[in-house]
Amino acid sequence: MLERSQQHYWGVVLDAPDARELAQFYSRLLGWKIGTEESDWVTMKPDDGVAYLGFQTSPEFVRPVWPPADGRQQQMLHLDLEVGDLDAAVAQAVEAGAELAEFQPQERVRVMLDPAGHPFCLYVDA
């Protein structure tokens, strides 16, 4: 097991055709401030906590499809974001630059697509 403490950061990195563009979307969506910003690498984190989101420019990036389809690039992971009001959260996500996915598999979850096509879920806890 890795030795960890509350001072060690951990995060998720999303590849994208443009790291800065995708980071700006998630900054609008989550209200997190951008920290590290280079031409092909951007990170952000909340004011409290040790988790971060990273974004890496990848010229070879292939937009994933949702729902999965044979022979097409599928999602490698997705983010789950708990919200208090699902309809309001969907509206805010769309205003920030997301789109509502056509296929919605659950009543209390909305699958959204970020500008690079990564699915993410907004959900209300039961």
SS3 state of residue 92? helix
For the range 43-48, what are the long-range contacts, defined as Cβ-Cβ under 8 Å and sequence gap of 24 or more? Answer: 43/11, 45/9, 45/11
Question: For the chain, what is the mean pLDDT?
Answer: 92
Rounded to an integer, what distance in angstroms lies between the CA atom of residue 91 and that of residue 31? Answer: 15
How far does CA 126 lie from the centroid of its chain? 22
Residues 54 and 3 in one domain: yes
CATH number at residue 76: 3.10.180.10
Q: Report the DSSP beta bridge partners of residue 41.
A: 56
The closest of 69, 63, 74 to 99, measured between CA atoms, is 63
Summarize pLDDT for 46-95 with one digit per residue, the tens: 888 778 999 999 999 999 999 988 998 988 889 999 999 999 999 999 99
- Mean pLDDT for the stretch of residues 86-106: 97
Q: Report the DSSP beta bridge partners of residue 123.
A: 82, 109
Rounded to an integer, what distance in angstroms lies between the CA atom of residue 38 and that of residue 24? Answer: 13
Please give the pLDDT value at position 68. Answer: 87
Please give the pLDDT value at position 75. Answer: 83
Lowest mean pLDDT among 2-6, 22-26, 40-44, 46-50: 2-6
Residues 30 and 75 in one domain: no
Domains contained in the chain, number: 2
Share of the chain above pLDDT 90, in %: 76
Please give the pLDDT value at position 70. Answer: 92
Angle at 117 between CA 111 and CA 123, to 5 degrees: 20
Residues 66 and 125 in one domain: yes
- Stated pTM of the model: 0.89
Residues 48 and 66 in one domain: no
Q: Is the preceding peptide bond at 119 cis, omega within 30 degrees of 0?
A: no
Residues 5 and 30 in one domain: yes
Residues 41 and 89 in one domain: no
- Provide the residue range defining the domain that includes 102: 62-126
Residues 52 and 71 in one domain: no
